[in-house]
């Protein structure tokens, strides 16, 4: 499928793009891609931001919109999409040379076949005529940290603060109650680390269906959204770029989820993100470095299990204050629809893959805010072969198989998840085994589950 991103009422391109769909990205109500990031830049006293950071964000939000609005079911295998897109940039000379690497990087990230083309654009999305009366002073911050409201990013922020850093925590505002939680976490951090600057910035981004020349919208949406976290990174880099070209961006996530090995053979092509896989981060870092962006991207939890991350900060007052309120769930708003009538959302469901990993990480701490207690045989009996029990069955199967695997078998699984050096493979071997042992311990608390694991 072919697409055209219209940055500011540009004329439609030549005939070779006839029949494509058009995304519009402007600061007006009829835009099909919309975001408040330009307002954040403006409040940071930027009448326009450096071209290279604006271009990067335009690329990121274009990929995000495409990923979200192109239904995988429209394609023969109901997964791999063929996406050709023309994206407007200000610095065409810099970006043109990165097209091939973008295609390779995005293919790994989303599992699709990408054909990105950049074209010259004169319109500046960030440009303002007069200074803003509202000011957002982030000058005291010396790093930017992605802050999703999940347990990993919460612990990551604490680690930075414990080490004396002054982070700007950036969140993607998906729904108001999550943003409220993130803001509350940041306020607690500022109180507990009063001698350090702690700021929280939340941006919005979403898209409507693009339209063709006849005004007909593209039908369908996609719920895998692997491109969301790329958008997250691009937004963080734009903030970091304003603060200074050497200000680092941190993306704290445990290495097991970042590696994203399919739990079973039937789960290959999983919907989970690949954004913190070392291969993606290295490829993306190569792109931004080649166009002159010097801000680094670092996941300092790349080789840590979720339990190790928790144990690193669990004795701090900051961790004890809100760790139970963090959201690790893949569908945290579903609690409002359950049969118990639970209106407390967002809340961790307790049965999805991320929730099970979360539970295994908090065995040394009391944690009880879930919609369901899934790590029991009763849960499997109640929900049978339903979608609700799929993740639990897959995790149990993975733990059972792990007990029969040699190190060489595990290394092969790690290599298949994405290209890595031998040193990285060995580090992930330790990580994989440690995470599986944590999951085994989680399930072994229940005697029925122990029998299922062959104990």
- Identify the pLDDT of residue 387: 79
- Identify the pLDDT of residue 345: 63
CB 286 within 8 A of CB 238: no
Rounded Cα distance between 166 and 175, Å, is 26
- Identify the pLDDT of residue 269: 47
Q: Where are the alpha helices (DSSP H) in 75-218?
A: 92-96, 99-110, 151-162, 176-192
- Identify the pLDDT of residue 336: 42
Rounded Cα distance between 375 and 378, Å, is 9
- Identify the pLDDT of residue 451: 67
DSSP reduced 3-state for 159: helix
DSSP reduced 3-state for 202: strand
Low-confidence residues in the chain, pLDDT < 50: 15, 268-270, 335-341
CB 412 within 8 A of CB 428: no
Q: What is the pLDDT of residues 38-79, one digit of tens each?
A: 999 999 999 999 999 999 999 999 999 999 999 999 999 998
Tokens of 253: 């996530």
Rounded Cα distance between 155 and 138, Å, is 21
DSSP reduced 3-state for 435: helix
- Identify the pLDDT of residue 417: 86
What is the rounded average pLDDT for all residues in the chain? 90
- Identify the pLDDT of residue 12: 56
Tokens of 265: 């053979």
The domain ranges of the chain are 327-452
pTM of the model: 0.93
> What are the C-alpha distances in Å from 162 to residues 140, 199, 448?
17, 16, 41
């Amino acid at each position: 499928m072919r697409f055209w991103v219209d940055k500011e009422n540009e004329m439609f391109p030549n005939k070779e793009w006839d029949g494509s769909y058009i995304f519009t990205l402007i600061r007006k109500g009829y835009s099909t891609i919309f975001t408040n990031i330009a307002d954040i830049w403006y409040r940071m006293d930027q009448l326009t931001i450096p071209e290279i950071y604006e271009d990067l964000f335009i690329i990121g939000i274009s990929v995000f919109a495409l990923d979200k609005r192109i239904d995988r079911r429209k394609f023969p295998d109901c997964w791999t999409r063929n996406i050709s897109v023309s994206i407007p940039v200000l610095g065409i000379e810099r970006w043109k040379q990165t097209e091939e690497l973008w295609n390779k990087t995005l293919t790994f990230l989303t599992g699709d076949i990408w054909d990105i083309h950049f074209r010259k654009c004169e319109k500046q999305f960030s440009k303002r005529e007069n200074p803003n009366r509202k000011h957002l002073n982030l000058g005291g911050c010396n790093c930017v940290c992605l802050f999703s409201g999940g347990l990993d990013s919460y612990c990551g922020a604490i680690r930075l603060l414990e080490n004396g850093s002054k982070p700007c925590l950036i969140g993607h505002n998906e729904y108001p109650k999550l943003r409220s939680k993130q803001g509350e976490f940041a306020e607690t951090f500022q109180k507990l680390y009063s001698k350090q600057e702690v700021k929280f910035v939340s941006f919005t981004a979403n898209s409507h269906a693009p339209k063709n020349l006849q005004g007909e919208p593209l039908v369908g949406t996609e719920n895998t959204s692997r491109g969301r976290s790329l958008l997250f990174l691009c937004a963080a880099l734009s903030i970091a770029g304003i603060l200074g070209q050497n200000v680092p961006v941190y993306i704290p996530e445990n290495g097991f989820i970042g590696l994203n090995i399919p739990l079973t053979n039937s789960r290959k092509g999983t919907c989970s993100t690949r954004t913190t896989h070392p291969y993606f981060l290295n490829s993306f870092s190569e792109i931004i470095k080649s166009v002159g962006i010097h801000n680094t991207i670092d996941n300092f939890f790349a080789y840590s299990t979720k339990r190790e991350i928790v144990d690193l900060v669990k004795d701090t007052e900051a961790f004890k204050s809100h760790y139970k309120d963090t959201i690790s769930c893949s569908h945290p708003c579903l609690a409002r629809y359950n049969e118990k009538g639970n209106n407390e959302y967002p809340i961790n469901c307790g049965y999805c893959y991320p929730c099970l990993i979360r539970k295994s990480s908090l065995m040394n701490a009391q944690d009880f805010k879930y919609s369901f207690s899934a790590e029991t045989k009763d849960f499997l009996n109640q929900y049978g072969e339903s979608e609700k029990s799929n993740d639990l069955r897959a995790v149990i199967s993975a733990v059972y198989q792990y007990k029969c695997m040699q190190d060489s078998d595990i290394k092969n699984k790690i290599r298949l998840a994405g290209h890595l050096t031998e040193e990285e493979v060995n580090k992930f071997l330790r990580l994989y085994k440690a995470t599986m042992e944590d999951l085994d311990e989680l399930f072994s608390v229940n005697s029925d589950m122990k029998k299922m694991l062959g104990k």
